[in-house]
Every structure is written in C-alpha cells, then in structure tokens.
Structure 1
Amino acid sequence: MQLKHSLTPALVAAIAAFSAPMSMAQGSNLVLEEIVVTAQKKAENLSETPMTVNVITGETFSEYAGFDIRDLDRFTAGIAVTGLDFDVDMAVRGLGSNLDAALDPRVTFYWDNAYSVRQIANFVSQFDLERFELLRGPQGTLYGKSSPAGALTMQTRSPNLENVDGFFQQAFSERDGINSQLAVSLPIVKDTFGIRLAGVYDQNRNQDIENITLGINNQAETKGGRVVALWQASDNIDVRFSYNYVKADKDINSIVEGNGLQYTDRKAVNEFAATSYERHSQAVLEVNWELPNEWLLTSVTSHQRSLMQREFDSDQTDVKGQNQSVTSDIKGAVNQELRLQSVGNDFWDWTAGIFYQDSEAETPVYVDNFVLVGLGVYLPFVAEVTGPAFNDSEEYALFLHNAFHITENGTLTLGLRYNNLERYNQQTFEQLAFLLAGDERVGPLDTTIVEGVPEDVQNLDYDAFTGTLKYQHSFADGLMVYGSYDRGWRSGSANIGGQPLPADWAAFEEESSDNFELGMKWSFMEGRGLFNLTGYYQTYEDFHYGANNVLYVLIDDSFAQGSPVVNADEVSSTGVEAEVSYLIMQNWSFSASMSYNKTKFEQFDDAPCNDPSQDLTTPGDYATCDLKGEPAGTQPEWSGVITSEYYTDVGDRDMEWYLRGLFKAEGEREDVDVDRTISGYAFVDVFTGLRSNDGAWDVSLWAKNLLDEEARLNLSPTIPVPDYALAGQPADSATATINTGYTRLENLLAPRTIGATLALRF
C-alpha cells in the first residue's frame, strides 16, 4: 500500500464545507462531502472522532478574502484572535494567553505538524495553505505540547508529483491594500519527487489608524516565501521537507479615546514612533515509514529562528512619558517528535511516542523613562534602563494513546503523557539617571543595578502527567455520542518585563486543568446535513492570569505599567458549542455555528489591577482587587456565525456566477482591566463574482464589514506621565505626574474594506 502525505495530522470538520461547492452523490440525492480526519493521528471519519474539531480550508480562506491569521475568527463561533502586532492572542472557549509573555500558550500552534515555539510568528500573512485546523479543549496526549484550551495546526500545500500546477492570485483593496500570491508545483521525477515554490507580498493600511502627532498613517508590509519538497522514496516511505520564511515591517501606533477623541476617529497621539520589524523562519522535516507489520513510524523534526524588533511609546500619549525598544531573538529552537502506531487493528489501536524541544532566546530591552523629580523645585530627568533577558527552555515528554474497540459500535480511548520542562530565565537591569536640559542629557548623575529575576527563580523545573479518557458509541442512524475527561497542563516561569517588576511578580507557578465534555455528531437526511453539539465544564487550578498594563511604582518613584502573569487560585469555564452544515440545493449551501461560554474566577482576591482609589507611594507598590465572580477572560459569552453560498451557470459559457455571504455577531463583554462593559456587535461580509466551471479562473468583488460596523474589542489604561507644567516650580512631592485622560484601544473591529481578487489556476 502506497503511503500518502494525508496520513499526517489533518483535523477536518463540518466547517470545511462552509463555502466550497458540495459534492453530490448517486441519483437525485444530495449529500455533503465525506470528511476524513486524523485528529487522533489516524485516518477516521468525522463522525467517529470524539472531540470538537474544525477546519478552514486554504481554498475557503482565500474565497473569503482571508490574508492573515486574524481573519480566522470570522469563520466559526467561539474563537477570537485579538490584539495588534506583537501583543496578539488566540482564545478558544473564552480563554487565551498573552503571547508576548514568557509562558507556554493556552492554545498551541503547529506548522506542518511541528510545534511552533514562537506563536507570534504565525500572525503574519498566510499563503498557499492546505488548511487551518482547530481542536477545541485540552490536548493532553498526542500533540507536541500539552495545552489547556486547544491546538491550531497550519498545513501547507504539498507538491503535485504527477503534473505541473499552481496559481496566481492578485487582490486590491481600499487604503492601498495589495496582496499578491504565487505558487507552482514541479514534479522533478514523476510520481517520486517534486517541489512546490510559493510566495506572498502584502501591504495595507487596513486598521486605518492616523497618528495626528507625527502626521503618519499606520502601514504594514509583508514579504514571504516557501519551498516544499516531497519524496515518495518507496511504496512504504515518504519524506516531506518544508521551509518557510517571512518578514514584516509595521507601524503599531495605538488608537486612543478621551480628551475629545472618540474611538471611531481611529486616531493615535503618541509622540514617539511605534514600529515593529519581524523576521521568522521554520524548517520542518517529516518522515513516514510503514513497517512490514503495518505499524507506522513517523518522525517530525523542526528548527525555528525568530527575530522581533519593536519601538514602542509605552504611555501612548503626546507627552514624553516612556519609550521602549525591545529586540527578541530566538537564536534557535529545535523540536523532535517520534511516534510509532498500529494501523487498523480490530480490537486495540495504539500510538506511542516521545517529544523533545530545546530553545534559546535573548531579549535586549531599552527604556527611556521620563520623570519630574522634586528637588526643592521640580526638575526633569530621564532614566535610561537596559535589561537584556535570557530565556532558555528544554522539554521532553513520553506518551501512549490507546483505542479499545470494545464492541462493533463502542470505543474506549485512554491516553497518558508525562511532561518534564526545565527553564532558565535571567534579566539584569541597569538604570542611568540624566538631568534634562532641553533636549540635552546631562550626566549620568546616578547608576542603579537591579536583578530583574531573583536568583531563586532563575532555574525552574516542572513535571506533570496529562491525558484523556473517552468513550464513544455510534448508532445506525448516523448518530455518534461521546463523553470525555481531559487533563491539560502548562509550566510556570519567571516574568520578564521592560523595567524591574515588583517582587511579587517575580515568577508564577504551573497551571493544571480538568475538562469534562459531552458531545454528539449527527449526519441527518441521509448525509445531506451534519449537526454537531458539545457541552463542557472545565476548571483551572493556579490559572495563568495575564494582568494587563497594571500601574506600579519604580525605584525612582515614577510610574510604569507591567503586564505580569500571576496565578489565580481557581477559574471555571462552562459552555455549549453547536454547528450545522446543510446542502439546500445542489448549488446552494448553508452553514451556521454558535458558541456560548462563561468563564469566571472562582477565587482570586489579590489580582493586580488599576484601582485609582488605592494610593501608590512606595517602590514596588501596585493595586489589588478581588475578582471572585468576575469574567476570567475578555471574550463575549456568546457568538454566532452564518455562511452561505449560491451559484448558477451563466448560459452556455462554461462559467458560474456566485454570491456568498458571511454574518458574525458577538455579545457584550466585560473588561476587568478598565472596569467597563464593551458593547456587542454584528457585521456582514459579501462576495460576488464569476468563475470558470473547471476552476481555472475566478474574479470576485467583495466587501468586508459591508455596513461599516464600529466596535471596541479590547481596552487598556494609559500610565500617568510627568506634569511638565510644574517644571521649575517649588516641589511638594517626590515626583509630579498627571493622568492624561486617554484610554488605549488594543483592538478594534476593522473598518469597511472593499476589494477585488483575481485568481488564475493552472
């Protein structure tokens, strides 16, 4: 039996059929395309997979004018991609992570089946993908890293070993939007060896942000390339190698509201330019070898490099307050997974394996902190702070996953994984104080050295057991029901910041979670429709809470903001997810998904927060709040997505006219960081065009957020800045600061964008 690369993980779900034309079966019957998944590292029908899985195919992603990973949450309910640029996050079932922090993600990312060490590397232009795949809930056994909330995989397209093929796609949109993509497959040795080359160029001003202080508009430019080689070495061995490279230059000025500005104005006011430069590469080698006894041996090896440089106005105002320069360099991250699995046993199918990861990162940090110091009179000073951080980690895991086919229709799954991780974190700060004389700096007048990571938490060692227990039963009428218990885990770490953090924030402990889930999958009307329903209850102990821009007092009595990760005692997450796909007619498809999720702190009485009623006077001081009963995440409790496509032949011209639409709505959300309720919203995307019946060409016109809906998604406070109006006046306190009255918008619904796309396939 000849192996195919599809044996590698491919998590496919009903959402795969959202917009693509559905396949029809015998006679007049309409049926959805049969969906095969390998979510459990083996090929099986979707109806046999006891978990919630979704996929957005690369074709669907392009048809809906998707250009980067932030577009993913348009396609299905219950996921959210939030934040901007380096401060990004993916949340599933209401909870995500601060991917800019020194912690393992709550939703893990995989690129061509290899764990992606730097999640942020994936938040740039996506191109020539086979599919995005999402597993919801804890992944405690089979995937490279144990994850509490879910896993997202991105699979690139493999070469065609028989024929030359490829595509060219060109999109233009408002605000100077250009997206160019090109890919070609070359069968070097027919049926044996081939390569696929792909590239992307993207530029845009999609957020439509104008900095009125500097007189510039936010722009982004991305360039990327990829090569994929596939070698069918024999009937039972295949080898696949992919190398992906991408770099991006962006302006990252943040929208503010207050002092007469509304968030709908989309204005930034920071006086220091905020920019980001990224350069990422990842190489993945995968080998599949089917042994004579029909066992399958798989090896996945990955090497990742990642460089991020950013300049950032920390106070986001037009006052000289705080300016940061940070370079984060992962010099080399290697991970290796080796697994052996049985194939097609009647009673017992098993998978056993090992996982290893090693990474080294260096992060130089430079901060200018402007202060007005009371020395008889108020005098302006600047503290130049340097704090290079070193972050190394080494991890290994052993896992065993078993499926026992107890009866013809009943399967019991049992998985167990041992995880061990060692971390080394070190950061030493040096602060030089200068007197400001106009734009000149006099000094240094004082030098202070502070160890940012205390010695007792520089070396950390964690281990834990995770796993899964599931039972599923299939009925003759296309109905499958299942129940599962899954345990997730992620390690603790030391906190790394732009300036010395309070001692209480030095490190955070490991987090564990337990998830109980009931679900059903029903193929109805003889395969014309598919309905999935899931309910879950998950608890977290020592939950990793990312406090957002919390004010604290520095050693020079000025204020700074920190976003440390701290442990909340207990958090719960309860929810229901449902989705349906239905083939209304041969040329008319419909899909909908809904998610309801409620997260809350069950116990958390010492949460870092911004409470203006608490007096902060001593270095290291910060305010605390009791968040018991408050939402543990910043996502809305409910969301829904509807998509539909209709198409019809245009006379006898061998082409089709199509109309597709996407509707998404989300409820209001509570943001504990600013103690505000953020209103819900709804938007509509519309796409229409002509395409050839054989798929050779496609011309579309589209409008994303057609009705120009405006909505906040995430807010954060701004820090106090020096009150320069008091410079030279008699001093009655150690420092003189003033609140600017601005609130920072970390994420905002993108404005209406109208565009056109031409796609040619050969």
Structure 2
Amino acid sequence: MSKKFTRNMMATAVALAVQAGGGYCLAETDDNNFSLEEIVVTAQKREQSLQDVPSTVNAIQGDALTDMKLFNFSDLEQVSPGLELKTIDGRAGSISLRGVDYNPNSAAAAAVDVYWNDVTLGSNASGGVFQEMFDLGRVELLRGPQGTLQGRTSPAGAIAIHTAKPDMEEMEGYVRTTFTGNEGNNTQFASSLPIIPGELSIRVAGVYNTSEMNEVKNYLGGDVSDTETSAGRITVAWEPSDSFAAEFTYQYLESDLNNYTTLTGSSSLGQGLPDLDASDRTGIDAVPDNLHGRYENMALKLDWEVLNHQVTFLSGYSEVSSVRTYDNAMGNSDDSGFTQAGPHPKTGIAGSQLNDPQAMFDQNYASSQELRIASADNEFWDYTVGLYYGNESGFFNRQQMQAIAHPLVAPLNIYADTEVRSPFNIQSYGAFAHNMFYLTDQLTAQVGVRWQRQERTVEGSVFLNEDLSALHPAFPQDAELKQLIADDLETGNSEAWTGSVSLQYAFAEQDISVYASAATSFRPGGVNVAGQALNELTAYNEEDSWSLELGFKSQWLDNRLRLNGAVFHQDYSDYIGRFANINVNATSKPASVTYNGDATIQGVELDFEYLLTESWRMAGGMSYVEAEYKDGVKVPSNESGADCDTSGTMNLCDASGLELGSQAPFTASLSSDYTIPMDAFDVYVTGLYKFTGRRTDADAPSGDLGGYGTFDLHVGLREAAASWDVSLFARNLFNKEATDSMDPETKTFSGVGTGYYKANVIPQRVVGVSGTYHF
C-alpha cells in the first residue's frame, strides 16, 4: 500500500476512535432504555442481521430516503460515501463504486449490477432505475466483488432495490406531495388492500414528478430544462399456507426529459456568443437534449419450505424503449453545424438535413430465471445452491449525418443521413454454491463458488437512411455503407469460475466481530461499436480480479452505537476502461473506445449509527479509495509524446499511476435528526451533510476539480400517531456552486472546436414544502 493511503487510513481510524470515545461518555450518563433496531438484509440470499454478514453492506430504509426528500435514484450517493451515480444523456446511468468507473455506453458488463426485487435487470434497463424512487422498503448497497450469489458477477458491488410489500392484515396507505422552487411537484401514493386477510393482499403505488431540474437556461431562445415522469406499480402477495408464499410485482414508468447542457468557456467560432461560466447554468443548443423513455419491470418470487429447506424460484423481465434527439454541435449558433466554407452544403441530396438534432433509438428486452435451494438453521453447515439463466436482446441505433465519397466526382464528399445499427443478443448461464460452516459458537467460515458462461452476438454496420439511387444505383435506401464489426468478431463466448472465502470471529464478551474475506470476480470481453472502423481496437478482453477485505462490525453502549469498517485491496487483470473522444489517426475524428489495462485499487470504508438519546440520532460514513493503472500500462490517448505508440488506429500512451475515473478518492456524509415531542404532535429537525473531495478530471482544463460540501436541512411537524406530516426543507441550503465533472471541448459537425466545455454542475439550492397523510 502507498504511504499516502496508509496515512489517510491511520488518520481516519484515529478520528473515528475519538468520535466513538466522545459518544461513550455522553451515553454513560443516560439511563433510558433504548437501542438501535436490528437491520435485517438479504445480501447472502437469506435473511441475516447486517452485523453477521462478513462484507461491507449498507442498508438504507425507504422511510429514511423519504424523510430526507431523496426521491431520485441518483440521490442515493448523498447517504452512501464512495458511491457515484450519474445520468448519462438521460437514457442510461453510470454507477461507480470503490473507484471503479463505468460508462453504460461502453457495451461492457456493468461494474455494479442493479437488482430489482432480487431479479437482474437488462444492461440498458439502468435508465429505468435512474428515475424516481417511490414506495420503497429498503435499498441494500453491497460493496466489493460479487462472484458467488448474485445473478451476475460484478467486480465493484451491487445495488439491491426492494419495493414496499403489501400489508397482509389491514388496509393502509398514504398520499404525499412535495412542491419545490424549481417549479417542481412530486406526488406519491400507495395503499395495501387485503383481499383475504392474512392470505392475499394487493399493494398499489404511483408517482408523478415534474420540475425544471437544475434550471439550466438555453441562450438560444431562453427555454429552461424540464422533466416529467409518471409511474405505477402493483404488487400481489399470496400466502396460502405457512410453507408457501408467492409475490408478483409489475411496474410501468414513462419519462420525458428536455435538458440543456451547462457550458463553460469562450466561443472560438466568431458568432458573437457570450463567455460562460459553469455558475451561469447556461447552454447553447439549437434543440434541447430530449429523451422519451418507457420502462417496464416484472418480478415473480415463489418460496416453498420443504424438508427443512427453502426452495426459491425467481423470474424477472424488463423492457426498455427510448428515443433521444439532441444537438450535435453544442456551443454553435449555426444550425447547419458547419463553421467553414467549402463543399459543405446545408442540405444534402434529397433535402436531407445535417441531422441536427441527431437521434438515438434503444430497445432492450431482458429476462432471467433463478432457482435456489437453501438449508435452514443447521447446527454446523448451512448451504445455498442454485442455477441461473439470463437472456438479453435488442438494438441500439444512432442516426447521424456522414460524409460519403462522391462516386463520380471524387474526392468531393456528399453528406447523407445514415444510421449505425447494432442489434445484439446475450445469453448467460450460471451455477453456484455457497456454504456456511459454524466451526464454533464464535468462529464462522464461508466458502462459495460460481460457474458462469456468456454467449453473445453483436453486429454493427452503417446504413444509408435515405434514397440516393438517383445519384448512383449503389446508394438505394438502406444500403449498407460500412461494416463496423468483422464477421469473426460478431460472436463470442466467455466462461469463468469465480468464488469467495471468509472467516468471521465474534468476541464472546463484546458485541464485536472481525472478518477476513477473499473473492474473485469476472467481466466478459466484447466489442466496440462506433461510427467508424476501430480495426485492432474493435475487441476488448475479459477482465479478472481478486480482492482481500479485512473488516470489523461492532455494537456499543447497549446497542446505541453501531460502528463498522473495512480495509480492502483489489487487483485487476485487463481492467475494462472507457476512453472518450480519442482521435482515430486515419480520420482525425474522435471516437470512444473500451480498452483493457491492469489496475489496482485499495481503500478504507467506515460507517456508524449512534442513538445519543431516544430523540436524537446521528449516522454517517466515509470512503477513501486509490484506484489507478499499474506501471507500464498503455491506454488510448490524444497525447503524442515519447511514451506513446502512434503507429495504430489510436495513439496508445503510458498510463502508469493514472486514476481509473473521475471519482473523488475521499467522500463522507453525516446526518442527524432530532425530535421534540409535544402533546399532540412532534417537531423534528433533520440535517444531512455530504462532502466530496478533490479529484482528477482529465477533461477539465486544470486537470482536476476542487472538493465541495453540501448541506440539506429539514424542519417538520408530525402528528404524534404519525397520521400526518408537514415539513419545510432546503437541499444545498447554502447554495454551494461546484463542478462535479467535465467533458471535452464540444465540436461542430466539421470537427471545429467551439471553445466551450460541458460542465456537469451540482444541483443548486432548492427550497420546498412537503405534506404526507397516512390512512
């Protein structure tokens, strides 16, 4: 481990020890009988106390998210240090954890998989997850390699979303509406309807949300970004006997997004456009970045108790359909996308436009089935064995204007509407076994193994999207202009074994346990699909990793303080990274490429929850991670120095010590809620502070971005029996301004830089009022 990492780890441990010691003195003087509730999770596919799981797991209750007005999936990072959630162009989302960066446009398997009511989602279904959260039971964040029990192997972790279950005994529900100063309204409802009390019940829930989001204004017209989402869900629970239970959940979500991109910089096009700073929250777009998405999720779970075993069958289905249109030349006021004279007509043959806006079409169908058999409450050995199958298919098509060599007047180019079409099919198979050995009353060993196989077919070609046969018979409608993936690369199979082993020791006299775990993970290789040929860079290799984690879990002060922590190291062979906007040497035009390089990650994580009094609770955590490429690794780059190989399709330059992504190495959060009981109602105050440290960003002009902190405050009044609740709140109370990440300089259709950079800024201060009625 590096000296920097060791120093940071020691400093954190000392700080936490001081904090825990101070809390001990305060709690010793309080004789009230109160304690933290036990947290039950299903991270190992069986109900267990959080403190008994030998790995880092964070459980966030749905009520806690509601109390802090965290309604969007990306808000989870506010209470989960080390987790970064970003919406990528509205149609998909990026989940980064433990320093592992991921871009959903990479076509690679996710570094962090998402599970919805225990079933896997399609790779493009993350766009449906990155929407409104409503009527949740809990969210579990599993950190580290998932190589045994989860539906798919993922190297950095998994997020398990569990929706609220029907009440089997009585009718109950709520209506909640929230208004915010950015023209926002979020209205949610849910109700449980027992059909046969104790045996059959239905729960319905829904949400409607609209707002102007970050209030980014378009300089060309004055419009402001806006979004509208509506969703409904129905859950049916049937428990005809003590030994059988069934649950079916269906959810439909539809969203519309009109987004303008915050730009920073000065125009280099001579068009009289203004100098912009990220704090201006201003874009320059001929049209908004518009996305219409439709997302369906279904999950069926059947549980039988047979001969002291739990037999579980899971079946899931997800469908994604989205259309995105966007400005291809942000920062340019010329709607043709051109800024220079020459053979660049505003319209091509047959009046084709320069595809401004351009369009993307996503269609994704995914299904999965899993069968598990788990022993129950044995004295020495408990086990879980299972089989998994997943099937995913669909297409990703991108329409764009491209230059085509004129067949009669070469080298003159004509410009025509084209479409990159990429149909795919992926089938996944798995078999797994997980064993728990209770060696003594205090010592537990766990051993797991998983076999998996993936069979994929991915195609990619450029087709003519208009009829140019009048110009030349070789150019009819739908003519194939270029094959982007060679025939021998269109199909590929991957097969691997992964596993995990751990030892956990619980001290007899204290409520403390320590553990050591080792695990492996795997991501299959694949192919890049771009608008131009990538030659030897078309395919990327499989990724393998192994990790070691040492941790502790503890409860203090008669279970009023819960304190957990871990230190980890992970080593990657052929880490799958994404490199955006790298110039292709043959064309001088940029493309994004997925590429392999060995890497290493190490870090420390801590979290606590402290009940100071019966009315005052504090919770928080921190994460510090170092994630970088190993010495001697070369990756695609736009540099051309002495340490670069410039002989291939793209320049490959030395990346020794280069950080894997733009995640901040250090993040932390702290929350506190205090309740003042009155006769008929309670007054409460809740605060949430999130700190994001300085981080490297190769796309930022300075090369890095500064750290920042935001503070949320909620003040509310609730009826003593909690039948109603009214609160006033402010997100980012002090209106902190900061840039979270940046993208490279935007360019026109002809490749000329605009002088502007895309800045992803944090949300501005939002003030709101919320009311809830329970029945």
- Report the 3-state secondary structure (helix = DSSP H, G, I; strand = E; otherwise coil) of the residue aligned with 1:271: coil
| Counterpart among 220, 226, 232 of residue 225 in structure 1 | 232
- Which residue is 2:443 aligned to? 410
TM-score, normalization by structure 1: 0.88
State yes or no: 1:751 paired with 2:755.
no
Give, as a single letter, the amino acid of the residue that structure 2 aligns with 1:363. Answer: F
Equivalences for residues 163-312 of structure 1 within 5 A: 163-259=170-266, 260-291=275-306, 293-312=307-326
Q: Relative to structure 2, which stretch is displaced further, 234-243 or 211-220?
A: 211-220
The superposition leaves residues 307-356 of structure 1 with CA deviations (integer Å, 9 ceiling, x where unpaired) of 111112234232416743111101x3110010001000000000000010
Q: Is the 8 A contact 2:673 2:684 kept in 1?
A: yes
- Which residue is 1:51 aligned to? 55
Equivalences for residues 565-584 of structure 1 within 5 A: 565-568=594-597, 570-584=598-612
Q: How far apart, CA to CA, are the structure 2 residues paired with 1:298 and 1:434?
A: 54
The 1:214–1:413 alpha-carbon spacing in structure 2 relative to 1, beyond 3 Å, is same
Q: Is the 8 A contact 1:97 1:105 kept in 2?
A: yes
Q: How far apart, CA to CA, are the structure 1 residues paired with 2:92 and 2:632?
A: 25
- Alpha-carbon offset, residue 237 of structure 1: 0.2
State yes or no: 1:88 paired with 2:77.
no
- Alpha-carbon offset, residue 28 of structure 1: 2.1
- Alpha-carbon offset, residue 633 of structure 1: 1.8
Equivalences for residues 577-656 of structure 1 within 5 A: 577-603=605-631, 605-611=633-639, 621-650=649-678, 652=679, 654-656=680-682
Q: Relative to structure 2, which stretch is displaced further, 412-421 or 44-53?
A: 44-53
- Alpha-carbon offset, residue 421 of structure 1: 0.3
Q: How far apart, CA to CA, are the structure 2 residues paired with 1:272 and 1:613?
A: 39
- Report the 3-state secondary structure (helix = DSSP H, G, I; strand = E; otherwise coil) of the residue aligned with 2:629: strand
TM-score, normalization by structure 2: 0.87
- Which residue is 1:510 aligned to? 542
Give, as a single letter, the amino acid of the residue that structure 1 aligns with 2:247. Answer: R
| Counterpart among 330, 352, 360 of residue 326 in structure 1 | 360
| Counterpart among 696, 711, 714 of residue 684 in structure 1 | 711
Equivalences for residues 379-390 of structure 1 within 5 A: 381-390=414-423
Q: Is the 8 A contact 2:43 2:140 kept in 1?
A: no
- Alpha-carbon offset, residue 430 of structure 1: 2.7
Q: How far apart, CA to CA, are the structure 1 residues paired with 2:574 and 2:387?
A: 27
- Which residue is 1:667 aligned to? 693
- Alpha-carbon offset, residue 551 of structure 1: 3.2
- Which residue is 1:733 aligned to? none
Give, as a single letter, the amino acid of the residue that structure 1 aligns with 2:591. Answer: G
Give, as a single letter, the amino acid of the residue that structure 2 aligns with 1:131. Answer: R
- Which residue is 1:427 aligned to? 460
RMSD over aligned Cα, in angstroms? 2.6
Q: Is the 8 A contact 1:432 1:444 kept in 2?
A: no
- Which residue is 1:701 aligned to? 728
The superposition leaves residues 80-127 of structure 1 with CA deviations (integer Å, 9 ceiling, x where unpaired) of 112442352111111131123322110000001101112222001111
Q: How far apart, CA to CA, are the structure 1 residues paired with 2:640 and 2:260?
A: 26
Q: How far apart, CA to CA, are the structure 1 residues paired with 2:536 and 2:222?
A: 41
- Alpha-carbon offset, residue 623 of structure 1: 3.7
Q: How far apart, CA to CA, are the structure 1 residues paired with 2:650 and 2:747?
A: 14
Q: How far apart, CA to CA, are the structure 2 residues paired with 1:684 and 1:621?
A: 47
Q: Is the 8 A contact 2:328 2:749 kept in 1?
A: no
The 1:566–1:273 alpha-carbon spacing in structure 2 relative to 1, beyond 3 Å, is same
The 1:338–1:109 alpha-carbon spacing in structure 2 relative to 1, beyond 3 Å, is same
State yes or no: 1:116 paired with 2:148.
no
- Which residue is 1:345 aligned to? 378
Equivalences for residues 96-115 of structure 1 within 5 A: 96-115=101-120
Give, as a single letter, the amino acid of the residue that structure 2 aligns with 1:159. Answer: P
| Counterpart among 474, 484, 493 of residue 517 in structure 2 | 484
Give, as a single letter, the amino acid of the residue that structure 2 aligns with 1:697. Answer: W
- Alpha-carbon offset, residue 451 of structure 1: 0.7
The 1:583–1:703 alpha-carbon spacing in structure 2 relative to 1, beyond 3 Å, is same
Q: How far apart, CA to CA, are the structure 2 residues paired with 1:759 and 1:507?
A: 53
- Alpha-carbon offset, residue 225 of structure 1: 0.5
Q: Is the 8 A contact 2:640 2:653 kept in 1?
A: no
Q: How far apart, CA to CA, are the structure 2 residues paired with 1:595 and 1:580?
A: 12
- Report the 3-state secondary structure (helix = DSSP H, G, I; strand = E; otherwise coil) of the residue aligned with 2:460: strand
State yes or no: 1:530 paired with 2:562.
yes
Q: Is the 8 A contact 1:610 1:673 kept in 2?
A: no
- Alpha-carbon offset, residue 234 of structure 1: 1.1
- Count residues with an aligned counterpart: 706
The superposition leaves residues 273-314 of structure 1 with CA deviations (integer Å, 9 ceiling, x where unpaired) of 3211110101111000000x2100000001111111111223
Give, as a single letter, the amino acid of the residue that structure 2 aligns with 1:275. Answer: N
Please, which runs of 5 or more residues in structure 1 have no aligned partner? 1-25, 436-440, 724-736
Q: Relative to structure 2, which stretch is displaced further, 147-156 or 99-108?
A: 99-108
The superposition leaves residues 453-489 of structure 1 with CA deviations (integer Å, 9 ceiling, x where unpaired) of 1111100000001110000000120010000001011
